Amino acid sequence: MIEPGNDDATGSTAHGGTPAIPEEPIANPGLPAHTWRPTDLDEGAAKRAERQVAGFFFLSMVCTVLFIVAYFTLQIGDNFDTFIGLGASTVALGLALGGAMLFIGVGIIQWARKLMGDHEISELRHSASSSVEDREATLAALDIGIEESGIGRRPLVRNSLLGAVGMVGLPLVVILRDLGPTNNQVANAEAGTGLQHTIWKKGMRLVRDVVGTPIMASELEIGDLVNAAPEALFPTEENGYPEIEGVKLNVQKAKGAIIIVKMEPDEIKHGKGRENWTVDGVICYSKICTHVGCPISLYERTTHHVLCPCHQSTFDLADSAKVIFGPAHRPLPQLPLAVDDEGYLIAQADFDEPVGASYWEREKQ
């Protein structure tokens, strides 16, 4: 064993290349003397520790058996709520597995602390860098290698190789092109695809978002807020909309969701050119926040404010859904409303701007 380094007692003064440091005020006293543990001196204590360690390992075995017993006896499924919101099976399996592992760990550490040798030993450090000879030999080998390859003397080879290797990365980038279509490729006003279009069309009914029933304008009370969707998402034989499901349905749900509120007609401050977009105090906006696209949901009927639960952007629904607080910049897009012959709410047209989060070419479309 290497003896602790009392010889370098002056400690950190020995750095190379630094100016002389004033003498260390207190000399390094060297490693303190080793103190013996009770288990080193007393055979009885050592035996006791041995039994403790074995006891922990034994407890671990017991826990493993408990795990297997719990696995086969406790049922899961409906009873997940049996014990503080957790299934009895999960609790038992967790505790048993935890115990099985923990007791092995505790046993090993007890063994290390009480019974394994506890002499601290000292090892000399070496500089992280290689020795000067090694460095020189490596540099020399590098030089010879470069020289023999002729890469320095033949720039044509070198530069063309650099060009080739640089270009050969392009397939990797290019092959990613078909990860998905671009917005321009999918954009279609008729189908309601692309960032700038939704499935809303002139004359499409507004329906409740869960059951899909149309909404009678006269049935709404002042202060009501209805989460609604385009009728095309609930195709039936009567309304004649084509079947829609899977990805297409989710895409249209993600863009087409709306909120309808009814307030006193004279409380509404109509936006420019939007004077006839409401029906008797019923006004409709996109439900998708213009910040990063969360569905907004928290409505305060006395102030007509609606709040996005993700980042707390707040919009004033009485005033064209202008942002009155929070990180969003643009108002919620407004859906122009009308009623059909039967008195149900319908859209006059699609939104006149893209719904949801902003993007670079948004204003160009």
Partner 1 sequence: MSLDTSKVATSNGATAATAGKPSKLGGVAGWADERLGLAGAMKKNLRKVFPDHWSFMLGEIALWSFVVLLLTGVLLTLWFTPSMGEVHYEGSYDQLRGIEMSEAMASTLNISFDVRGGLLLRQMHHWAAMLFIASMMVHLLRVAFTGAFRKPREVNWVIGCLLLLLGTLEGFTGYSLPDDLLSGTGVRAADGFLKATPVVGSYMSFFLFGGEFPGQAIIPRLYIIHVLLIPGLLLGLIAAHMLLLVYHKHTQWPGPGRTEQNVVGFPMLPVYAAKAGGFFFIVFGVTAIMGGLLSINPVWKFGPYDPTKVTAGSQPDWYMGWPDGLLRIMPGWESVIFGYTISWNVMIPILIVPPTMLVILILLPFIEAWITGDKREHHLLQRPRNAPTRTAVMVSLMTFYGLAWAAGGNDIIAIKFHMSINHITYFMRVMVFLGPAIAFFVTRRWCISLQRHDNEKLLHGYETGIIMRSPEGGYSERHLPISEASAYSLTARDRDEIYTVEGDTDANGVVAPGSRAQAVRAKLSEKMYGYNVQKPTAEEIEEAHHHAEHEHELEAGLDHPADGHQFDGHSDHTVDEAPLRGH
Q: What is the nearest approach in angstroms of partner 1 to the Cβ of residue 174?
A: 12
What is the C-alpha end-to-end distance of the chain, expressed in Å?
Answer: 78
Q: Is residue 59 a contact residue for partner 1 (CB under 8 A)?
A: no
x/- letters, 112..131, toward partner 1 (CB under 8 A): x---xxx-xxxxxx-xxx--
Shortest spacing between CB 82 and partner 1, in angstroms: 12
- Size of residue set near partner 1 by CB under 8 A: 120
Residue closer to partner 1 by CB (options 119, 156) is 119
Q: Is 329 in the site for partner 1 (CB under 8 A)?
A: yes
Contact pick of 59, 293, 301, 339 for partner 1 (by CB under 8 A) = 293
Q: Which is nearer to partner 1, 18 or 341 (CB)?
A: 18
In the bound complex, what is the minimum distance in angstroms from residue 273's beta carbon to partner 1?
20
Query: Cβ of residue 148: shortest distance to partner 1, in angstroms?
Result: 30
Q: Tokens 């070496």 map to which residue?
A: 126
Residue tagged 């019974």 (tokens)? 115
The Cα angle at residue 225 between residues 224 and 231, in degrees rounded to 5: 120
User: CB within 8 A of 190, min separation 6: which ones?
Assistant: none
**From the list 155, 169, 171, 180, which residue makes contact with partner 1 (rule: CB under 8 A)?**
180
State the Cα–Cα distance between residues 285 and 287, nearest whole angstrom. Answer: 6
* 343 in Cβ contact with 361 (< 8 Å): no
Residue 208 within binding range of partner 1, rule CB under 8 A: no
How many residues in total does the chain contain? 365
CA distance 365 to 346: 25
Give bridge partners of residue 286 from the DSSP assignment.
258
173 binds partner 1 (CB under 8 A): no
Identify the residue among 215, 330, 334, 337 touching partner 1 (CB under 8 A). Answer: 330
Given the complex with partner 1, which of 45 and 292 has the nearer CB atom? 292
Q: Which of 24, 42, 280, 300 binds partner 1 (CB under 8 A)?
A: 24
- The verdict on 66 binding partner 1 (CB under 8 A) reads no
Quick one: 36 or 360, whose CB is closer to partner 1?
Answer: 360
Site for partner 1 in 226-265 (CB under 8 A): 227, 229, 245-247, 250-251, 253-255, 257
DSSP code of residue 234: S
- Measured between alpha carbons, how far is 264 from 365 in angstroms, rounded to an integer? 35
Query: Of the candidates 260, 218, 212, 257, which has an alpha carbon nearest to the alpha carbon of residue 239?
Result: 212
339: β partners: 345
